[in-house]
Amino acid sequence: MLHPIVTPTIGTLIYFLLVNSSFNSSQRLSVLGLIFVTTYVIPLIILILFKKFKMIKSFKAESIKERKIPIAMMIVLFYLLGNTLEGITNLRDLGLLFYATTLGLIFIYLLFSFKLKTSIHLLSLGISTGFFFVLHTIYSKSFIIVIIVTLLLSGLLASARLHLKAHTPKEVYLGFLIGFFCPIIIFYLL
């Protein structure tokens, strides 16, 4: 449930539950469907193809080399999704979310040059936390419960990633911090 491939859909669902919008339920469902296909189905198909053509050894894409092409493809997908959503009236917030994710993935990709395999799991929860922090500023409405829950889940997920020896503490903290600050940076740039 805390996998980065699912986080965008869950975050969008929480957004629709907490932020008043002029969209009816079928329009919200259409947006959720678009986000689910773009952030879950397409990346899953890409990973299956990469595994089939032996471009990755496992679906975990554990090495930096195995992560480069999937991350680059995700950068493009999230940027296009951000462009699409920002162009729809009343969905600028979600456009901001996906631009922030694009920025976070760019940082992750750049850190490959320094041999850092930053945690994408923590990046996704950091982005969620930062996004609801930004929404707090935009709407002058408290999202403190969501922020607290994402912080607690981040702690649990970070502990799990460290326990599994999937990342070092540096990679886990870096993932969360990059994720947290990306929505804030995008908010002030746009």
What's 114's DSSP letter? G
Rounded to a whole number of angstroms, the distance between the first and last alpha carbons of the chain is 31
**Nearest-angstrom CA–CA distance, 171 and 116:** 7
pTM, full prediction: 0.93
Note whether 75 and 82 are within 8 A (CB).
no
Residue spans of the domains in the chain: they are 7-189
- Selection from 81, 84, 83, 60 nearest residue 70 by Cα: 60
- Per-residue confidence (pLDDT) for residue 24, from 0 to 100: 85
> Using CA atoms, how far apart are residues 3 and 45, in angstroms rounded to an integer?
16
pLDDT, mean of each 10-residue run, the chain (190 residues): 88 92 87 95 91 80 83 95 91 94 97 94 96 93 94 95 92 97 95
pLDDT at residue 56, rounded to an integer: 81
Phi-psi region of 3 (alpha: psi -120 to 50; beta: other; left: phi over 0): beta
Give the C-alpha distances (Å, rounded to integers) separating 74 from 5, 20, 134: 10, 29, 23
